[in-house]
Amino acid sequence: MTGEPKPIVLDVDTGVDDACALLLAATHPALDLRAVTCVGGNAPVDDVVRNTLSVLETVGRTDVPVSRGAARPLLEHPHDARHVHGDDGMGDLGWRRPTVQPDTRHAVELLRDVCLAAAASGEHVTVVPTAPMTNIALLLRTYPDVARGIAEIVFMGGAAQVGNATASAEFNVFHDPEAAAIALDAAAELSIPVTMYGLDVFYDPVVSREQAAELVAVGGGTGAELAGRLIQFQCDRFGRDAATIGDAGAVCAVIDPDALTTQVLPIRVELAGHWSRGRTIVDRRDWSGDLSHDPHGEPPVRVRVALGVDHDRYVDLWRESILRQAGAR
């Protein structure tokens, strides 16, 4: 973790665990957070914008432009996840409302501007979608030139194994399957490397109730207090003694990729199935005989799939960064 901070943008549907991701991306010295774009997902997009601005303001990052993006999936009707994230989308904590306004550009325009500006100065931005990929699909299809300024895409979504929104599908991909399929397809066409931080690792980095209480005890309306209260909300909602940092793991994966066990694998997004719509079909077969005789042919898309994580390392990374910013380290 030495050298220049990595330029990064987040595309979020804040979201309790997107808030956890923002707290890390906005405070860690190894990252240079250049923009945050919002999309409807866990909550309607206007709530997502408010929640996102509120988190960034909590940690003093009103310098980061935040834009409103797609309000709904490309084809599906929106299905929010307020049963997971609360009525306001961020744990109904009654947290401070933002005093700043979003950027006036549409999310896709802001992403384009950030990526092209990076390309013009010889830099490459890591794009981290932790939400349905509607904005990302629109970006890559509308402005394929942005690929010149993108280092890689590290997205939270999908799974090699199980689902959560349905038995088959993970929420972000399920919410807008066409967008996920388009984003992965476009990334392959444009030679943008992709890492999938999906449900195979998402639930592993957990923060205990004791650790959450320590964060809350910092108090003062700091990012640490917010982080602790977000974890407590999840513990209460799911009736558990610990809760995942969720989307924050995808940001950890940018800072410390070596803590992941990964495999580059072919992937398809199921668009036609009824019970399986939105599933990411990750091909883990290793016998070339089966692969070469598959009547579907070889999938055009291959991504680096996270299959294991050193969860304590990610939890420490997340807590330390947030505590340091709050002056508690």
Residues that bind Ca ion (CB under 5 A): 13, 15, 18, 130-131, 247
156 binds ligand BDR (CB under 6 A): yes
SS3 324: helix
| Sites for ligand BDR among residues 55-84 (CB under 6 A) | 81, 84
37 binds ligand BDR (CB under 6 A): no
Q: Which residue is at the shortest CB distance from ligand BDR?
A: 171
278 binds ligand BDR (CB under 6 A): no
And the tokens for 229?
């209260």
For 289-317, the DSSP string reads HHHHT-TT---S-EEEEEEEE-HHHHHHH
| Sites for ligand BDR among residues 173-202 (CB under 6 A) | none
Among 82, 164, 208, 242, binds ligand BDR (CB under 6 A): 164
Contact map string, positions 242 to 261, toward ligand BDR, x by CB under 6 A: ----xx--------------
- Rounded Cα gap, residues 178 and 181, in angstroms: 5
233 binds ligand BDR (CB under 6 A): no
| Sites for ligand BDR among residues 17-36 (CB under 6 A) | 17-18
Count of residues engaged in binding ligand BDR, rule: CB under 6 A: 15
Q: Which of 147, 97, 127, 171 is nearest to 37 (CA)?
A: 127
Give how far Cα 148 sits from Cα of 12, 32, 119, 165, 329, Å.
22, 18, 6, 34, 39
For the chain, give the number of residues.
329
Q: Which of 112, 181, 105, 180 is nearest to 142 (CA)?
A: 112
155 binds ligand BDR (CB under 6 A): no
CB-nearer residue toward ligand BDR: 29 or 308: 308
Cβ contact 162:174 at 8 Å? no
CB-nearer residue toward Ca ion: 152 or 247: 247
Q: Which residues bind ligand BDR (CB under 6 A)?
A: 15, 17-18, 42, 81, 84, 130-131, 156, 164, 170-172, 246-247
